[in-house]
Amino acid sequence: MLLIVLAVLVSCDGEPLITELVENRLSIVLKGSYESDSVRPMILPGGANSSKAGSWVADITGNTDIPQRLFLDISELRADGDSFARYRTLSTVGLSDTEPFFNGAGIMLRNDDVRPDKAYSTIRLYLRKIGFDAGFNCDSTWNTTTPTEFFFGKGDVAGYDFNLKQIYRYGETSEDYDGDNLVFPMQIPISGTMNYDGDGEWVLEVRLVIKNNIARYADTASNISYWALDDRISAVAGGDGYIGGNIAAIAKAYKVGYTGSIDVSAAAGGSVVVAMPADEDIASFVSGKIPPYAIYRSAGSIIPNVPVGKAYNVYQASSDLGTLLGATPGYSQIGATVTINAPGQTVTP
Amino acid sequence: MAADDLSAQVRRRSDNFLRPQIGLYFGPATPLFELQDTVNASLGGGVFVRGNTAWDLLKLGADVGYQKHDSDGVNSLSVVPMFANAVFLLPFRFPVHFQLKLGGGYARIWTEPDGKDQFDPLIVAGFEASFPAGRIINFGMRLDYMVLYEEHIDGAKYNGYILNSMLTMYFNL
């Protein structure tokens, strides 16, 4: 007993390593919108401001159903190869502004923390399945017959998993070319890298542009009509078997309590305002590369959670989402470069 | 039957067993409670020595082991338990020796992904059953319930609890 008492006394200055091991300092937030905060409202296909509504598929006559649900089956996330979030996540998300995945709040993914003092530059998101409902088998004249189904979680659900079609063809004509499936894994850059220090609370935010970015496709080989991500980045021609290269994604990380805000309320114009590290060239944010910080002007004028000590340029654009994801997003800079020098500080460009 | 008489009988039967002993052990090591969801069970092992006391039913010993608990992800916990212990031979008239053990000491632990290590106080309670195989060798199994005591540290919410279910072989010197 004396030995035990001595051991306790000698070790009083230790760290709670078991608690650190069991609990997390890093939270992963997964969002499904172009905006990081102050997200634009949901516009379902066929709505007044819908940009495509599946209009490129003129030969589908029967499928007028609009998708209501997104199915996500995530195998795991890795950070530069480290399996820090090896937990399968099944999410059925309604296409609605009340869903955290679509309203800017985000859904949480379980993880084990990453290694301290290592600069992570890429997140690998392993998507096992991704699909929408309102998929249909069609007859030879493209009238719908029966709903498509796929296995999701513990049973079949009505919908279509377009994961295996996420292959970017690069103009390749051979259908045996299988080197470019972009979702297993999907490589998502971390803006400014994640320099987790193993102290305090951290947030890793991962965004996939799904909200207001869906379109109807026709698989002419099997006469299936289904909904998937719009082909705003990599055009899909009628009859193509693959629709890949159309997921825009970005990740960013920050330490809670070591951030400030950018106030753009005084800036005129623009439907969206974005901020990006000053050392990154705005000209590179085209064709699906999206900024780490973005807000919809009608929904707010504050860009929150901007890390202390880094310089940012702020831009605005009046473009719709389709243009923002395209080759000429139309960003124009607001004011001068800003740097938040102290936690809680609000700066104006 | 008086306890002293029973002790004497056990002593006569177990003269060889009452010698100083040295041995080794290995087998599954299973994290419990919160750790069970964080790291996986694994194989562990170690060595030990035991010496007699004036009271034949009681030995004093020292154990050193090693076990590493990986996970499917980046988590891992490595433990080197180092503890002194008192081992009490239950005075039953039975061919198998049953012993209770209580000990304490330190465990050197390493955790990933934090990449940190330190000594933690260690408390061990155990039970052993061993079968003599001749005059020198004993085979048996031992259950060691180990507590990596961290709740005395500021900010700690959990101790580490591990159950080692080991096969053992040791020698009467």
Give residue A146's pLDDT band: very low, low, confident or very high (50, 70, 90): very high
Give how far the C-alpha of residue A21 lies from the chain's centroid of Cα atoms, to the nearest Å: 28
Contacts of B154 in chain A (CB under 8 A): 16
Contact B75 A7 (CB under 8 A): no
Distance separating alpha carbons of residues A285 and A329, to the nearest angstrom = 8
Residue among B73, B152, B156 minimizing CB distance to A19 = B156
What is the pTM assigned to this prediction?
A: 0.83
Contacts of B150 in chain A (CB under 8 A): 14, 16-19
Distance separating alpha carbons of residues A211 and B40, to the nearest angstrom = 39
Angle at A175 between CA A57 and CA A232, to 5 degrees: 40
Q: Is the pLDDT of residue A62 over 60?
A: no
pLDDT value of position B33: 95
Mean pLDDT, rounded, for B144-169? 94
Contacts of B84 in chain A (CB under 8 A): 3
**Chains A and B: how many Cβ contacts under 8 Å?**
118
Distance separating alpha carbons of residues A255 and A275, to the nearest angstrom = 18
Say which range, A98-102, A215-219, A272-276, A316-320, has the weakest mean pLDDT: A215-219
Peptide bond into B113 cis (omega under 30): yes
Residue among B116, B122, B154 minimizing CB distance to A17 = B116
User: Comparing C-alpha atoms, which of B23, B21, B40 is closest to residue B32?
Assistant: B40
Distance separating alpha carbons of residues A48 and A188, to the nearest angstrom = 32
Q: Chain B, 45-64: which have a CB under 8 Å from a chain A CB? A: none
Q: Which two tokens stand for residue A80?
A: 């530069």
User: Could you report the predicted ipTM of this complex, rounded to two decimals?
Assistant: 0.86
Residues B148 and B162: beta-carbon distance below 8 Å: yes
Q: Which two tokens stand for residue A328?
A: 């000429």
Mean pLDDT, rounded, for B65-93? 93
Burial of residue A316, with CB atoms counted within 10 A of its CB: 0-12 exposed, 13-18 middle, 19 or more buried: buried
The pairs formed by B129-132 with CB atoms below 8 angstroms and a separation of 24 or more are B129/B96, B129/B97, B129/B98, B129/B99, B130/B96, B130/B97, B130/B99, B130/B168, B130/B170, B131/B95, B131/B96, B131/B97, B132/B16, B132/B17, B132/B95, B132/B97
Q: Which amino acid does the sequence have at A146?
A: T
CA dihedral A188, A192, A194, A199 (to 10 degrees): -150
Q: Is the pLDDT of residue A48 over 80?
A: no
Give residue B14's pLDDT band: very low, low, confident or very high (50, 70, 90): low
Contact A21 B115 (CB under 8 A): no
Residue of A21, A117, A126 to mutate, testing the B interface (most B Cβ within 10 Å of its Cβ): A21
Output phi, psi for B159, to 5 deg: -95, 170
B118 touches chain A (CB under 8 A): yes
- Residue B77 pairs in a beta bridge with B69, B111
Angle at A307 between CA A302 and CA A309, to 5 degrees: 120
Residues A256 and A291: beta-carbon distance below 8 Å: no
Contact A114 B74 (CB under 8 A): yes
Contact B116 A84 (CB under 8 A): no
Residue of B106, B119, B150 to mutate, testing the A interface (most A Cβ within 10 Å of its Cβ): B150
